[in-house]
């Protein structure tokens, strides 16, 4: 629970030091920026590095330069005060988060009356930039969220999610897509990809140049994708068990039956990785071991440290969800609307994903540029209330997934330690959703061969990093010490994408080479419709 503000305090010594520092810096700022106009002598200040105030318009006049610098001083001081609050770590994190949200929203760049760049554009365009901004604002009000990209430039199946394939199975929860081989020979063991159910699968198949799906197919894999249905009210009562048994496990068995392979390779991304590991542990408890390998991309299994998302989770918050959209909800379970999740994730990085577009769209009247990743980011999905509530309570709140026998899923006592298969664990170094140290903690949950690889950048950009782009880097270390910092200290940095490392790791687990199939499906399964299928096109 949020503690009463009156119960929070800052030590007097720390507060006095902050006050003294603030008065000193405010005086220096006044004398340096506005002092010469009043006959004072002021030393020049270094340029403002914050990109919100990087335009020359902010430095053109002493008054606007002063406004920007004073805001930054106030913002810094407020954050220092939040850091100095005496409280437990979770309360301090929530105070920091709340103060940061207020500080970012209060930026003078966000308001036409204080933004000289937007004012100049309004004068140059004869007010047309304001008219266009109001039109964009009205469009965003109607659609219910701030536009981050020009959505008219993209269409699922036309220029995103374009890797050729066909839907070969479907039920109420998912469609199974098989992709057309790009090589004469394919690996004996197919690769099944399980994307996050809180997003559309095509984050792994944006466009040909940055498609992990196409890359995997081009490497000679027979690739299948689980495409989640965007739930409507008819699926509002579905549970975590349903998603495991009737989706992931069913997809695994279908790929086995369709291909004739006794074992397959598997990959799970984010929550898809949590679902995949859970499904394989359920099958292991039943004496089944259908996977020759498992790849987990930015996935949490040990929820000891959930990064910025922890500020949203406590007993009261979970109970509120349970009685509003879960099994305890009056009138029955309800959906967690996709836009609510999307908004929460955007406000984890408000300057980049919210206020940047408020300024550009509404104050300057500029349609944001076309960007496939941000188009995907705005294509939100719903979740069934009971499934979401189970996930919140048993992972984020109580962290029971990592404890052998602590959970019963699909009628089986869950023990991730039963998974002895080779595992490839990938994390992103700047990930604010799945801290890389938390992803590393998964190495301690398994007994079989494990490889941990760390990539640069964040939760999505770190994963979607094709080799041809020659961007970023990744770190490898064959040893797995207990502590993640020790792993990093002994790691070697490599230029470029981690995809090539993963492909080289996967090859020995893929079996012999077979002639690529000429048609989709097989053994009683046939093409239902071309990829990407109907489910991924459904809007929340």
> 70 is in which domain, residue-wise?
5-124
> H-type helices in 245-365, by residue range?
250-259, 271-285, 315-324, 338-346, 350, 356-357
- Catalytic hit among 197, 270, 389, 410: 270
Is 99 within 8 Å of 85 (Cβ atoms)? no
- Identify whether 270 is a catalytic site residue: yes
Tokens of 206: 């944006």
Low-confidence ranges of the chain (pLDDT < 70): 1-7, 34-43
Cα separation, 393 vs 325, in Å, equals 14
Same domain, 175 and 94: no
Cα separation, 416 vs 342, in Å, equals 30
Is 228 within 8 Å of 183 (Cβ atoms)? no
In the block, tokens 């536009």 appear at 147
Same domain, 461 and 397: yes
Backbone angle region of 526, left / alpha / beta, with phi > 0 → left and psi within -120 to 50 → alpha = beta
Is 452 within 8 Å of 466 (Cβ atoms)? no
Q: What is the pTM of this model?
A: 0.94
* Secondary element (H or E) of residue 225: strand 223-228
Same domain, 119 and 176: no
Flag whether 268 is in a domain. Answer: no
- Closest by CA to 270, choosing from 4, 27, 463, 518, is 463
Same domain, 392 and 453: yes
How many residues would you count in the chain? 540
Boundary (domain end) residue, out of 124, 145, 176: 124
pLDDT of residue 42: 57
Same domain, 186 and 110: no
Flag whether 175 is in a domain. Answer: yes
DSSP code for 363 = I
- Closest by CA to 302, choosing from 484, 138, 81, is 484
Boundary (domain end) residue, out of 73, 106, 124: 124
Same domain, 108 and 216: no
Flag whether 215 is in a domain. Answer: yes
> Three-state secondary structure along 161-223?
CCCCEEEEEECCCEEEEEECCCCCEEECCCEEEECCCCCCHHHHCCCHHHCHHHHHHHCCCCE
| Angstrom distances, CA of residue 42 to CA of 5, 34, 37, 62, 335 | 40, 8, 10, 12, 59
Cα separation, 281 vs 266, in Å, equals 13
Same domain, 114 and 250: no
Cα separation, 269 vs 212, in Å, equals 11
Specify the CATH number for the domain of residue 439: 3.40.50
Flag whether 83 is in a domain. Answer: yes
Same domain, 311 and 448: yes
Boundary (domain end) residue, out of 62, 92, 124: 124
pLDDT of residue 36: 55
Same domain, 118 and 172: no
Same domain, 325 and 437: yes
Flag whether 135 is in a domain. Answer: no
- Closest by CA to 355, choosing from 106, 121, 71, is 106
pLDDT of residue 43: 64
Percentage of the chain beyond pLDDT 90 is: 91
pLDDT digits (tens, 9 = 90+) for 153-183: 999 999 999 999 999 999 999 999 999 999 9
Count of Cβ atoms closer than 10 Å to residue 259 Cβ:
23
In the block, tokens 């922890």 appear at 310
- Closest by CA to 64, choosing from 106, 119, 116, is 116
Cα separation, 444 vs 452, in Å, equals 11
User: Per residue in 147-162, is it b (16+ CB within 10 Å) or e — as a string?
Assistant: bbbebeebebeeebbb
Same domain, 299 and 217: yes
Cα separation, 62 vs 59, in Å, equals 7
Same domain, 220 and 320: yes
Cα separation, 339 vs 344, in Å, equals 9
The angle formed by the CA atoms of residues 304, 307 and 312, to the nearest 5 degrees, is 95
Flag whether 263 is in a domain. Answer: no
Flag whether 266 is in a domain. Answer: no
pLDDT of residue 38: 44
Is 372 within 8 Å of 154 (Cβ atoms)? yes
* Torsion angle defined by CA atoms of residues 510, 516, 518 and 519, in that order, rounded to the nearest 10 degrees: 0
pLDDT of residue 39: 43
* Secondary element (H or E) of residue 451: strand 450-455
DSSP one-letter string for 353-372: IIIHHIIIIIIS--PPPP-H
Q: Does residue 89 sit in helix, strand or coil?
A: helix
Total count of domains within the chain: 2
Flag whether 356 is in a domain. Answer: no
């Amino acid at each position: 629970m949020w503690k009463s503000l009156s119960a929070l305090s800052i030590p007097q010594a720390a507060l006095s030091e902050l006050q003294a520092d603030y008065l000193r810096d405010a005086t220096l700022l006044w004398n340096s920026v506005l002092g010469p106009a009043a006959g004072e002598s002021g030393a020049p200040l270094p340029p403002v590095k914050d990109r919100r105030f990087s335009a020359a318009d902010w430095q053109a006049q002493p008054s606007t330069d002063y406004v920007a610098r004073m805001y930054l001083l106030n913002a810094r001081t407020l954050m220092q005060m939040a850091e100095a609050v005496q409280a437990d770590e979770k309360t301090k994190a929530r105070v920091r988060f709340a103060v940061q949200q207020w500080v970012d929203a209060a930026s003078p760049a966000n308001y036409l009356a204080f933004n000289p760049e937007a004012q100049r554009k309004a004068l140059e365009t004869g007010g047309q930039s304001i008219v266009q901004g109001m039109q964009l604002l009205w469009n965003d009000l109607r659609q219910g969220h701030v536009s981050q990209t020009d959505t008219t430039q993209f269409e699922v199946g036309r220029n995103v999610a374009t890797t050729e394939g066909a839907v070969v199975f479907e039920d109420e929860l998912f469609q199974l897509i098989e992709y057309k081989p790009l090589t004469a020979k394919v690996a004996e063991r197919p690769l099944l990809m399980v994307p996050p159910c809180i997003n559309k699968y095509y984050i792994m198949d944006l466009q040909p140049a940055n498609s992990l799906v196409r890359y995997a197919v081009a490497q000679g894999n027979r690739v299948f994708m689980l495409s989640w249905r965007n739930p409507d009210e008819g699926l509002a009562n579905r549970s975590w068990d349903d998603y495991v048994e009737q989706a992931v496990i069913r997809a695994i068995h279908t790929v086995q039956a369709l291909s004739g392979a006794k074992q397959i390779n598997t990959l799970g991304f984010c929550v898809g990785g949590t679902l995949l590991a859970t499904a394989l542990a359920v099958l292991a408890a039943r004496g089944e071991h259908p996977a020759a390998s498992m790849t987990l991309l930015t996935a949490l299994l040990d929820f000891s440290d959930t990064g910025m998302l922890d500020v949203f989770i406590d007993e009261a918050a979970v109970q509120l969800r349970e009685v509003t959209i879960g099994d305890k909800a009056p009138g029955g379970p309800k959906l967690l609307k996709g836009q609510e999740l999307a908004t929460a994730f955007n406000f984890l990085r408000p300057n980049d994903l919210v206020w940047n577009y408020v300024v550009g769209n509404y104050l300057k009247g500029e349609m944001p540029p076309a960007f496939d990743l941000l188009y995907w980011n705005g294509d939100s999905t719903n979740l069934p209330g009971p499934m979401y509530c189970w996930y919140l309570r048993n992972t984020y709140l109580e962290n029971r997934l990592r404890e052998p026998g602590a959970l019963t899923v699909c009628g089986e006592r869950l023990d991730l330690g039963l998974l002895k298969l080779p595992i490839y664990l990938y994390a992103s170094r700047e990930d604010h959703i799945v801290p890389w140290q938390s992803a590393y903690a998964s190495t301690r949950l398994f007994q079989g061969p494990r490889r941990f690889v760390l990539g640069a950048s964040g939760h999505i950009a770190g994963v979607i990093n094709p080799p041809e782009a020659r961007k970023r880097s990744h770190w490898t270390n064959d040893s797995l010490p207990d502590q993640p910092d020790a792993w990093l200290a002994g790691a070697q940095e490599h230029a470029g994408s981690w995809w090539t490392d993963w492909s080289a790791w996967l090859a020995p687990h893929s079996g012999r080479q077979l002639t690529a199939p000429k048609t989709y499906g097989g053994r009683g399964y046939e093409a239902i419709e071309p990829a990407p299928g109907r489910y991924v096109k459904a809007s929340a």
